[in-house]
Amino acid sequence: MTLRPAQAKLNLALHVVGQRADGYHLLDSLVCFVEVADYLEISPAEELTLTVSGPFAQGVPTDQRNSVLKAAGLFPRIKGQGAAIHLVKNLPHGAGIGGGSADAAATLQGLADLWGCDLPPRDAILSLGADVPVCLETAPVYMRGIGDEITAAPTLPPLWAVLVNPNLPLATPSVFAALTTKTNPALSAWHDDFWTWIAAQRNDLQDPAIDLCPEIGTVLAELRRTKDMRLARMSGSGSTCFALYDSAVAAEKAAADLAANKPHWWVKTGAVLR
């Protein structure tokens, strides 16, 4: 049995810079990953099966609707070549941190290792969802186009993140539909003062998401009140928000305080992978 993490994705910045004729939005985003994850336990088997457990297992399908089995279906298979996959679902649904996409990416990597084969073609992987290609990464990257243009980003300073979700899922299409301006400025040119640079960027989906789910605004306000917070922003299309800190001690203290004061919120902390 092999254990594969499906790490939470954070859009440290997400600019919507256009929309194609087919409706797909064009993005310019700085993406990183955090030591908060779903986990996949993958074992050799003659058939392909999926079971699910964990705090967010309720309502997760175990049939072909699940991104794990959709990802597995991209591989050509021979008789007797299967896998018993167990998904430990720790990340909330509809949260803007790539849960289902991260699960699909971890499945692709785990099965390629198990079966000794290459990953499916990039276009096939993109068909699983716009965030799946980026979730094959671990180091910070730029994600552009519709999610299909992935390039390395400069090395980030040591960062720790606190992730907060109000336990209110938000549908990505609804947030994009609420965005009134589809053509916004791209990320500005990188410079070495990370904190100055990242503060000048934005998440174009944050305001429309707050309009749909005002609790996101409350989450951001609470994060900004935490000691030694350097930046607070929403990730993806929400509803998860994050704050960044210079040390594990500061992040862990902030997370503990938030969890105590808002016990109905999902609160986690972890280092940003570099």
Helix (H, G, I), strand (E, B) or coil at 86: strand
Contact 55, 74 (CB under 8 A): no
C-alpha 32/C-alpha 44 separation (Å) is 31
Angle of the 215-224 helix axis to the 248-261 helix axis, nearest 10: 130
Q: Would you tell me how many other CB atoms lie within 10 Å of the CB of residue 172?
A: 18
Q: What 8-state DSSP symbol labels residue 136?
A: T
The pair of three-digit structure tokens given for residue 34, joined into one six-digit string: 């955090």
C-alpha 112/C-alpha 117 separation (Å) is 5
The pair of three-digit structure tokens given for residue 10, joined into one six-digit string: 């954070």
Kindly report the backbone phi and psi dihedral angles of residue 243, in degrees, each rounded to the nearest multiple of 5, phi listed first.
-130, 145
Contact 125, 133 (CB under 8 A): yes
Contact 91, 54 (CB under 8 A): no
C-alpha 111/C-alpha 91 separation (Å) is 21
Helix (H, G, I), strand (E, B) or coil at 5: strand
| Half-sphere exposure for 78 (CA within 13 Å, toward CB) | 3
Active site residues: 9, 131
Helix (H, G, I), strand (E, B) or coil at 78: coil
Contact 109, 136 (CB under 8 A): yes
